[in-house]
Amino acid sequence: MLTKSNILITGGTGSFGRAFVEMTLKKYNPKKLIIFSRDEIKQWDMAKLYLDDSRVRFFIGDVRDKSRLRRALDGVDYVVHAAATKIVPTAEYNPFECIKTNIIGAMNLIDACIDSNVKKIVTLSTDKASAPSNLYGATKLASDKLFVAANSYSGSHGTKFSVVRYGNVMGSRGSVIPFFLSIADKGEFPITDNRMTRFMITLEQGIELVWNAFEDMVGGEIYVKKIPSMKITDIAKAISPKANQKIIGIRPGEKLHEQMIGIEDAQYTYAYDGYYKILPAIHHWCDDPVRINNGIKVSDDFEYNSYNNTEWLGIEDLRKWIKQNPDNLE
């Protein structure tokens, strides 16, 4: 599907974007891959990696600017939406800036994609969008709802939208692993709560989930990767087992555990090899056999939380991953 096509990724200079560009160029050989982002320095640095690759294009722009999005989407077949304001405390203290990017920006992209006759759009979501306790999660839940409903809103244009949802990306900018590595020599790690757990996913797993969504989607689905959990205290032990762990208390908007599928969504959720799929409730699309596609219905009391997960990442597992992925730690 993506082979010899024109692809645009918003937020394309971030951790996910850089990995997506590299892996997609190798696997699918698209005709054109456009990196749309607002940071000219990051674009300049990234462009140096693709000086001799005519498939890669760079476009300065902001998802808050609908007219700029329309210009960038000219001739584009597929879109990955990775642009977001995502740091939880930043969103708590700058709420409307987060809303302008994560909600208004999402609607701008939806309108621009429909007007430009884009075929399919996959947007990145987060575990914080399920039963959100912070502004970032609330904006991403609203964004998810917009992208699901956009399949009805697109009308005769036929543009299709779906969502992928997963947890903390291991080694990505602003995440706990590179932060702990950066302060390991101080001999002390700040721990918000020693009970805290998080879902963990690699960039490669996240990208593969996006590729799968493009292949499988009919429109309106939320794809949830089956991934392991890990205790924050175990992350600290994996990086520096002798370091002191200082309990500092939960930060504004932070949750003790994360959730990717709540009991409210269980009636619309189906299990597959390696992932779950939440089907859209609108228009009875949840009963559509094409969308169900041989999935196995989960129980009505099903919840997918980081604390009751059946798969866990151990201390030695993380140490091995850090050793094998030095270039994936920002």
DSSP 26: H
Which pLDDT value is given to residue 173? 77
194-197's contacts with Cβ under 8 Å and 24+ in sequence apart are 194/232, 194/233, 194/245, 194/247, 195/231, 195/256, 196/231, 196/232, 196/233, 196/250, 196/256, 196/257, 197/229, 197/230, 197/231, 197/232, 197/256, 197/257, 197/258, 197/306, 197/307, 197/309
Residue 74 has phi, psi (to 5 degrees) of -60, 115
pLDDT for 328:
65
128 is catalytic: yes
Strands 275-278 and 229-231: unpaired
Could you give the CA distance from residue 5 to residue 32 in angstroms, rounded to a whole number? 7
What global pTM score does this model have?
Answer: 0.96
pLDDT digits 0-9 by tens, 78-130:
999 999 999 898 999 999 999 999 999 999 999 999 999 999 999 999 999 99
What's the confidence (pLDDT) of residue 174?
Answer: 74
Cβ-based neighbours of 304, under 8 Å, separated by 6 or more: 224, 259, 260, 261, 276
Query: How confident is the model at residue 326, as a pLDDT?
Result: 77
List the CATH code of the domain at 6-166+200-226+259-303.
3.40.50.720
Q: What is the 3-state secondary structure (H, E, C) of 66-127?
A: HHHHHHHCCCCCEEEECCCCCCHHHHHHCHHHHHHHHHHHHHHHHHHHHHCCCCEEEEECCH
What's the pLDDT score for residue 56?
Answer: 98
Determine which one of 128, 140, 160, 226 is catalytic.
128
> Can you tell me which residue has the tokens 């302060």?
183
Q: How many CA atoms lie within 13 A of 2 on its CB side?
A: 28
Counting as low any pLDDT under 50, the low residues of the chain are none
In the prediction, which pLDDT does 330 show?
Answer: 61
